Structure formats: C-alpha cells, structure tokens
Amino acid sequence: MAPSFGLIIVGDEILSGKRADKHLPKVIELLGARGLALSYADYVGDNPERLTATLQRAFASSDVVFSCGGIGATPDDHTRQCAAKALGRELVLHDTAAALIRERMQDVAKEQGVAYEPERADNVHRLNMGVFPQGAEVIPNPYNKIPGFSCTSPAGGVVHFFPGFPVMAWPMMEWVLDQHYRHLFHVAPQVEHSVIVLGAMEAALTPLMEQVERNHPGLRVFSLPSVDHPQYGRHIELGVKGPQDLVPAGWTALLQGLHDIGADMGPELVRTL
C-alpha cells in the first residue's frame, strides 16, 4: 500500500498572519502531478513542546511527511532540536552538510571579494545549520547549498525537513519525490465524480450516502453544501471519490439513488485527483 502523505508548516509568522502560507497549495500541486494526494496538514508555531509532539506523531506513523520551516540556526528555530528529541537521538554535525555549508561560505566570500575565514565566529555558527539528528540524510538545496534533511523512525515514519522559503523548499520537495517515491507515481489513480443537487438538504441525502459507502468499500462519498452560489443558489455537490476502477460502480449507485428520490440535478463534474 502507498503511504499517506502529510505536511507540517512551522512558524509563528504563519499563525499570526504576518506571512501567508504558500506551501499547502504547492504540495497539493506537486503530489497531484505525480498521481499522489495529501492526506493532512498541521500548522505549528515556534513552540518546542508542541512541535516535538507533532513530530512524534509523524514518526510514530508509517506516513511520509514534509516539514517546512524552523531549520535555521537562530534562537527561534527549533525544528532540528525537536526532531532529535522526538526520535530520542543526539544532534550531530553531518559531514556532508558541513561540507556543503563551507562551500556556500566560500562562494559568498568570493562574491564579496574577501578572504574566506572558516574560524570566524559567524562562519562557525553557520555550521549549526548542518547539525541534524543522528542518522539523518541530506536533502540538497539548489538555491544556496544549505541542505535540508530526512529522518526515518523505527516505526517507519519518514519526515523530510525543508526551509520555510518557497524558493528553496519547493525544488527540494520535487527532488525528494522524484528521488525516493517515483515508484508510487500514478500507481493508483484516484478519481472524483460528482453532481450538483439543487435545493438539497444534507440530512435528506445522508441515508443514500451511507448506503453507497456501505455497499462499495474503498470509496468515499462526499457532500459540499453551498447556500449562496451565484448560479445554482442553495445546492450540494454530491459525489464519490476513490480508486479509478472502483468509482464507476459507486457513481452509478449514487446516481440511481438520486433518481429514486426525485432529486433535482444539475451538471456533473469529473476530476482526476
């Protein structure tokens, strides 16, 4: 079975509204382009206890989780430390990460026309960005070489850690997907088939929804109500979604049920997930 994919967004600036999260729609897009889907997303502020608990849940699962933000080396960056605590591992300077960070510092010195001073206090401090939980693997960063990292727990949960900056995180996410999960691409295409039911009430449709789910294991029936749509007014988008080979039978049953109760139906919608 394919693993579930999750997302963790870290940072007080997101929860306070100072910055708008752009990662959620992008992750949905990147997964969808590969025939995969996002199962859940968590938003966590810069609170070490809460972040550690969130990561513990991720590592205790068998999920693949992307975590964005908080992997820098300033006092408000806690993700690396919380990851180590969640795994019960020591933090260590990763050799490959250290080499990449030193390369970056040399590049900056060359661009500025100054000598590279590896023992200068600020340069020594920058190596903290390569201090990861023991056993971590490096995720290359094509933007500025400062890497992210991946950790796997004994339970099988995998968390990939990225910077908060989209310009860095998004190509790193694509690398992770293409490098580690290509075998899952488009293996089990998901389809969604729905219809606009005009003037409907969810309570009246619930028995039909329950019957279709009961008779068609592996499918999910959904309803999306709207009360003020400019074209359809009050209506419900009612449909089934799931594996491509299971949807047609469930959809036929749902449509027949709607005909049987005399539902007033509008256009049908089909979407590949």
Whether 117 shows a pLDDT value over 80: the answer reads: yes
Percent of the chain with pLDDT over 70: 100
- Measured between alpha carbons, how far apart are the two ends of the chain, in Å? 17
| Confidence at residue 61, expressed as pLDDT on a 0 to 100 scale | 95
Q: Where are the domains of the chain?
A: 5-184, 190-272
| Confidence at residue 142, expressed as pLDDT on a 0 to 100 scale | 97
| Confidence at residue 182, expressed as pLDDT on a 0 to 100 scale | 96
Question: With contact defined as beta carbons under 8 Å apart, do 166 and 9 qualify?
Answer: no
Whether 272 shows a pLDDT value over 90: the answer reads: no
| Confidence at residue 12, expressed as pLDDT on a 0 to 100 scale | 97
DSSP 189: -
| Confidence at residue 273, expressed as pLDDT on a 0 to 100 scale | 73
| Confidence at residue 93, expressed as pLDDT on a 0 to 100 scale | 98
At 2, the pLDDT band (50, 70, 90 cuts) reads: confident
Tell the CATH topology of 190-272.
Answer: Alpha-Beta Plaits (3.30.70)
* 7-8-13-14 Cα dihedral, nearest 10 degrees: 40
Residue with tokens 């004994």, as numbered in its chain: 154
Whether 179 shows a pLDDT value over 90: the answer reads: yes
**190-243, pLDDT tens digit by residue?**
899 999 999 999 999 999 999 999 999 999 999 999 999 999 999 999 999 999
pTM (two decimals):
0.89
Question: Closest Cα partner for 161 from 4, 51, 12, 19?
Answer: 51
**68-100, pLDDT tens digit by residue?**
999 999 999 999 999 999 999 999 999 999 999
**247-265, pLDDT tens digit by residue?**
999 999 999 999 999 999 9
Whether 19 shows a pLDDT value over 80: the answer reads: yes
Rama region for 186: left / alpha / beta (φ>0; ψ in -120 to 50; rest): left
Question: With contact defined as beta carbons under 8 Å apart, do 33 and 91 qualify?
Answer: no
Q: Does 190-272 match 5-184 at the fold level?
A: no
Tell the CATH topology of 5-184.
Answer: Molybdenum Cofactor Biosythetic Enzyme; Chain A (3.40.980)
| Confidence at residue 189, expressed as pLDDT on a 0 to 100 scale | 81
| Confidence at residue 207, expressed as pLDDT on a 0 to 100 scale | 96
**137-177, pLDDT tens digit by residue?**
999 999 999 999 999 999 999 999 999 999 999 999 999 99
Q: What is the mean pLDDT of the chain?
A: 96
Listed as own residue / partner, the contacts of 42-47 with beta carbons closer than 8 Å and 24 or more positions apart are 42/6, 42/7, 42/8, 42/9, 43/8, 43/9, 43/14, 43/15, 44/8, 44/9, 44/10, 45/10, 45/11, 45/12, 45/14, 45/15, 46/10, 46/11, 46/12, 46/70, 46/76, 46/77, 46/78, 47/78
